[in-house]
Chain A
């Protein structure tokens, strides 16, 4: 049973435009969320996180939005750069428990 879902396997965006990656979850007990970025032949690397007490967290070009009522979060990248091309994983956890990962969205930023 997939508790964290990324329904878009892939996304293509022009360089300079905004990339929006979406993630939905089913477990209302989740209260901490992370985004990881993965390049080919490398392990996932931490990108940005948000706890459920916030609805927005920003770090440079990356912003994560959390809508608890909709059980939805999104990652915005603006402006998108070719180096952002990678697979992005959303992950969620409840207190004291493991992280559950989504299946990933492959982002391609076209120069």
Chain B
């Protein structure tokens, strides 16, 4: 089945220790998104890739970086995680970055920062 896969599902890191979350897709979609969702809050878009073009949201902290080495994979790097970065991180894909195209979400990675 075509899908969006996120690994790991649960990630524990220490304060200030870099961590990488990964996302892969078999849908061959050209757009990939990373969202941060904190408890009882709405998913918040961090950035997205339209093919190789990177689009950062204005309020995304510099601590968050992303890489997309190919169509199938996208990584979220948190350079120095703080306690406030503990959240669920959702990866999503869509065929094109315009309205009217639904996004397909992965199951998320829950990040804990100790």
Is B8 positioned at the interface, with any CB of A under 8 Å from its CB?
no
Is A96 positioned at the interface, with any CB of B under 8 Å from its CB?
yes
- Chain A positions 17-47 with a Cβ under 8 Å from a chain B Cβ: 31-32, 34, 36, 41-46
Among residues of A, the one whose C-beta sits closest to the C-beta of B105 is A43
Tell whether A43 pairs with B42 under 8 Å between CB atoms, given A95-B99, A98-B57: no
- Chain A positions 52-111 with a Cβ under 8 Å from a chain B Cβ: 89, 93-104
Cβ of B45 and Cβ of A98 under 8 Å apart? yes
Is B81 positioned at the interface, with any CB of A under 8 Å from its CB?
no
* A36: B residues at CB distance < 8 A: 105
* A16: B residues at CB distance < 8 A: none
* A32: B residues at CB distance < 8 A: 99-100
Among residues of B, the one whose C-beta sits closest to the C-beta of A36 is B105
* B42: A residues at CB distance < 8 A: 2, 4, 89, 100-104
Q: Complex Cα distance A98/B98, Å?
A: 8
The 10 A-B residue pairs whose C-beta atoms are closest, nearest first, are: A43-B105, A32-B99, A46-B102, A101-B42, A93-B99, A101-B43, A44-B105, A103-B42, A43-B107, A98-B45
- Measured as residues with beta carbon below 8 angstroms from the partner, the interface class of chain B is 20 to 34
Cβ of A45 and Cβ of B98 under 8 Å apart? no
- Measured as residues with beta carbon below 8 angstroms from the partner, the interface class of chain A is 20 to 34
Tell whether A46 pairs with B104 under 8 Å between CB atoms, given A99-B45, A100-B42, A103-B41: yes
Cβ of A43 and Cβ of B99 under 8 Å apart? no
Cβ of B102 and Cβ of A34 under 8 Å apart? yes
Q: Complex Cα distance A41/B41, Å?
A: 16
* B44: A residues at CB distance < 8 A: 101
Name the distance in Å between A37's Cβ and chain B's nearest Cβ: 11
Q: Complex Cα distance A42/B105, Å?
A: 9
* A4: B residues at CB distance < 8 A: 42
* A103: B residues at CB distance < 8 A: 40-42
* A43: B residues at CB distance < 8 A: 4, 6, 90, 92, 105-108
Among residues of A, the one whose C-beta sits closest to the C-beta of B6 is A43
Q: Complex Cα distance A94/B98, Å?
A: 9
